[in-house]
Amino acid sequence: MELDELFSLASSGTVLSISSLCTVFAESEVINLIGAGNRREDIAAGIVDSVAAKVAGMCAKRTVAQRVILTGGLAQNDFFVETLGRKIQRTILRHPDARYAGAIGAMLTAQRRGEQGGGDEASRVSGRSPAALQTVL
């Protein structure tokens, strides 16, 4: 199942509890929920809720500002962003290109190391000069 389909199903489901932190055990829980005849929408809602709960648990260990910036692929999905926002009781901000945040951060780190005499890692990794990479930003 594609993520878009999962989120679409989840948005019309009722959350079922999936409590395992381990992916393997969570998969077993999902298989049991399927075997018990639960609706796909409800299982999908449980999966999304479980992922959001894990992220919320990480947030609970830190002081979190009123507005939170979410990066990565999940930032692209409105349903996940709303679910997480409710769980952490914060406003979630995101950029349309949030999925590239990790790659941009890696490029900037490589560029900075190159400027500090650590070699030209940015161009070695990307095949582009640091100046050309800077234009991406």
- Tens digit of each residue's pLDDT (9 = 90 or more) over 3-49: 888 999 999 999 999 988 788 888 899 999 999 999 999 999 999 99
pLDDT of residue 126: 55
Residue 70 pLDDT exceeds 90: yes
pLDDT of residue 125: 54
Residue 87 pLDDT exceeds 90: yes
Query: Which fold would CATH assign to domain 3-96?
Result: Nucleotidyltransferase; domain 5 (3.30.420)
Separation of alpha carbons 107 and 113, rounded Å: 10
Assessment of whether the complete model's pTM goes beyond 0.75? no
pLDDT of residue 2: 85
Residue 104 pLDDT exceeds 70: yes
pLDDT of residue 37: 94
Say what percent of the chain tops pLDDT 70.
85
Residue 123 pLDDT exceeds 70: no
Mean of per-residue pLDDT scores for the chain: 85
pLDDT of residue 132: 60
**Is residue 69 within a helix (H) or strand (E), and if so which, with residue range?**
strand 67-69
Separation of alpha carbons 111 and 117, rounded Å: 10
What φ, ψ does residue 69 adopt, rounded to 5°?
Answer: -100, 125
**Helix, strand, coil percentages in the chain from 3-state DSSP, rounded to 5:** 65, 5, 35
Kindly give the pairing relationship between strand 67-69 and strand 91-93.
parallel
Residue 105 pLDDT exceeds 60: yes
